[in-house]
Amino acid sequence: MNPMYPIAQIRQIEQAAQATLAPGTLMQRAGTAAAHAALELIKFPHQQTSILVLAGPGDNGGDALESAAHLAQLGLSVSVLLHADPDKQSVAAKQALLRAQASSAKFIDSSQTNDVDAVITSTPWTLVIDGLFGIGLTRPLPDQLHQIVNTINRLHCVVLALDVPSGLDADTGNIVDDQAGGRGVAVRASHTITFIADKPGLHTCDGRDLAGQVQVARLGIDHSLFPASAIRLNHPDLFAASLQQRKHNSHKGSFGDVAVIGGALGMAGAVILAARTAAQCGAGRVFAAFLQDAPAYDSAQPELMCRRAHELDFSAMAVVIGPGLGTSAAARDVLLHALQAATPLVLDADALNLIGAESSLQKIVTQRQAVSLMTPHPLEAARLLGKSGAAIQLDRVDAARRLAAQYGSVVILKGSGTVIAGVDGEIAINPNGNAGLATAGSGDVLAGLCGALLAQGWPVWEAALAAVWLHGAAADTLVAQGIGAIGLTAGELIPVLRSGLNRLTAEQALLRR
């Protein structure tokens, strides 16, 4: 289900496949698949339809040249901007170049053109195909291409990237930076057709912004050549087994209790958001536990039971600890108590900051027998790993995996392309959600949802996958309704999460019939 592979594994699959095929076969298949994808994007080609193909020095350029030849043979107006030394091309890419040269495609010689920018902007392109670099990019784009890529990124047409948007690291989703640490450039594609298998860097960090809609072309490679994958794209299929309709013969005790612990002075709202989410996403009973004085009740959600944290016996509940907890001595005490309880635990926000700052707490987390689920954003992850936030973002998959292994906890590393890591190294990357979630309190809502699912008996891995998926889907639904991305508030997510969870559950019940 939705497997993804790092570059090194893609290369192995590629080699195994090539051993059984005539030379150049995979490139020809990639070029054909790219041409089909281009035609689908153009939809109704007409006389003014014009396609610009950027072809680089390696085999990604070869794919582009194959697609250029196909599209030109179909009678479309194709221009090729070639950035390659034919003497250094692979045999397959040379063949592709010959085919493109033999077609009606026009070649723009960038070395003979003073102002390539002017050439690019002088034509109203219907489509740009980016075949500059793929998974072979080892250093930032060369200077000559900076300007071209910036110009392409300013065009208002469909941009189809082949394999990977040029400049993007397919493993990490980072733009390949220059030696001095300066920001490199990468093509911002509206669509990406990626070859052989999906790649993590297309879906996390800058990947979602640069790759656009991703489709996979397996190039006819036999399934047997694909090893088991440790990385998947999150999808309801991965947690469908836990989407169970409720029995008539049930009561509130059947769906568990959640305690949300946090809410130091001035930060009570974080607890309220998480607790309301837990209540509206199916927990049988929800306690909102505050470090300082608790409000008598929550007038918008009077079902919540408001308590002072140190007076609540949460030993038989799923516990969410951290939202607005602060890092005081009292906060540390209640955290220690929660860590020592044999209860499913969601560790969020200040609970993570406290753990990051104290090795004795770290040790207790690693020794817990009951399940732990950590929900750090990159800065919290940095504190937990003793790194900088920038270092976490450089390889989010690796960071999430390390955290899970080090803390013996399932980890949700938040941000665009949230990475979920299991203790055994299993990874899922979440494909939905949007920047509307970049608002105060949306993490509290996610933590509350995690708590609700754990209280209802979900296994921790499935709970993490489902919570992240539903959270992203709720934000997408709200944006589609015009409620966000700008100005979406975290509380608005809660009823949409509830309908999302009910809808998925009902759909799953139908599928099981």
Ligand X SMILES: NC(=O)C1=CN([C@@H]2O[C@H](COP(=O)(O)OP(=O)(O)OC[C@H]3O[C@@H](n4cnc5c(N)ncnc54)[C@H](O)[C@@H]3O)[C@@H](O)[C@H]2O)[C@@H](O)CC1
Ligand Y SMILES: Nc1ncnc2c1ncn2[C@@H]1O[C@H](COP(=O)(O)OP(=O)(O)O)[C@@H](O)[C@H]1O
63 vs 492, which CB is nearer to ligand Y?
492
Among ligand Y, K ion, ligand X, none, residue 227 binds (CB under 5-8 Å by kind): none
User: What is the binding site for K ion (CB under 5 A)?
Assistant: 60, 130, 161-162, 166
Q: Does 27 bind ligand X (CB under 6 A)?
A: yes
Query: In angstroms, what CA-CA distances link 188 with 113, 169, 333, 358, 421?
Result: 24, 13, 48, 42, 28
Residue 204 C-beta: closest distance to K ion, Å: 18
Q: Are 1 and 238 spatial neighbours (Cβ–Cβ below 8 Å)?
A: yes
Q: Are 412 and 374 spatial neighbours (Cβ–Cβ below 8 Å)?
A: yes
- In sequence order, the 6+-apart residues with CB closer than 8 A to the CB of 488 are 436, 437, 439, 475, 478, 479
Q: Are 293 and 320 spatial neighbours (Cβ–Cβ below 8 Å)?
A: no
Residue 12 C-beta: closest distance to ligand Y, Å: 32
172 vs 439, which CB is nearer to K ion?
172
Residue 260 C-beta: closest distance to K ion, Å: 46
Residue 180 C-beta: closest distance to ligand X, Å: 14
Enter the DSSP assignment of 247. Answer: P
Residue 10 C-beta: closest distance to ligand X, Å: 8
Give the separation between CA 180 and CA 437, rounded to whole angstroms: 33
Helix (H, G, I), strand (E, B) or coil at 144: helix
Which of 163, 169, 348, 492 touches ligand X (CB under 6 A)? 163
353 vs 418, which CB is nearer to ligand Y?
418
Tokens of 125: 């392109």
User: How far is C-alpha 512 from the chain's CA centre?
Assistant: 29
Binding flags for ligand X, 38-77, as an x/- string (CB under 6 A): ------------------xxxxxxxx--------------
Which of 18, 123, 292, 328 touches ligand X (CB under 6 A)? 18
Among K ion, ligand X, ligand Y, none, residue 415 binds (CB under 5-8 Å by kind): ligand Y
* Site residues (CB under 6 A) for ligand X, limited to 167-226: 195
Binding flags for ligand X, 122-151, as an x/- string (CB under 6 A): -----------xxxxxxxxxx---------
Tokens of 128: 């740009």
Per-residue burial over 294-320, b = 16 or more CB atoms within 10 Å of its CB, e = otherwise: beeebeebeebbbbebeebebeebbbb
Annotated binding residue 206 = no
Residue 162 C-beta: closest distance to ligand X, Å: 5
14 vs 380, which CB is nearer to ligand X?
14
Annotated binding residue 327 = no
User: How far is C-alpha 457 from the chain's CA centre?
Assistant: 26
Give the separation between CA 229 and CA 232, rounded to whole angstroms: 7
- What would you measure as the largest C-alpha separation in the chain, in angstroms? 81
Annotated binding residue 60 = yes
Annotated binding residue 166 = yes
Residue 54 C-beta: closest distance to K ion, Å: 8
Query: In angstroms, what CA-CA distances link 386 with 238, 325, 380, 402?
Result: 32, 21, 10, 12
Please return the burial class of 512, using the count of CB atoms within 10 Å of its CB with bins 0-12, 13-18 and 19+: exposed
Query: Within a 13 Å sphere around the CA of 139, how many CA atoms are in the beta-carbon half?
Result: 5
Which of 4, 5, 9, 14 touches ligand X (CB under 6 A)? 14
Of 25-33, 46-54, 301-309, 481-489, which part binds ligand X (CB under 6 A)?
Answer: 25-33
Q: Are 444 and 19 spatial neighbours (Cβ–Cβ below 8 Å)?
A: no
User: What is the binding site for ligand Y (CB under 6 A)?
Assistant: 349, 377, 414-416, 418, 433-435, 437-438, 440-444, 446, 471
Annotated binding residue 103 = no
Annotated binding site for AMP: 414-418, 443
Q: Enumerate the known binding-site residues.
A: 59-63, 130, 134-140, 163, 166, 270, 324, 377, 414-418, 443-444
Binding site membership for K(+): which residues?
60, 130, 166
| Contacting residues toward ligand X, per CB under 6 A | 14, 18, 26-27, 30, 56-63, 133-142, 162-163, 195
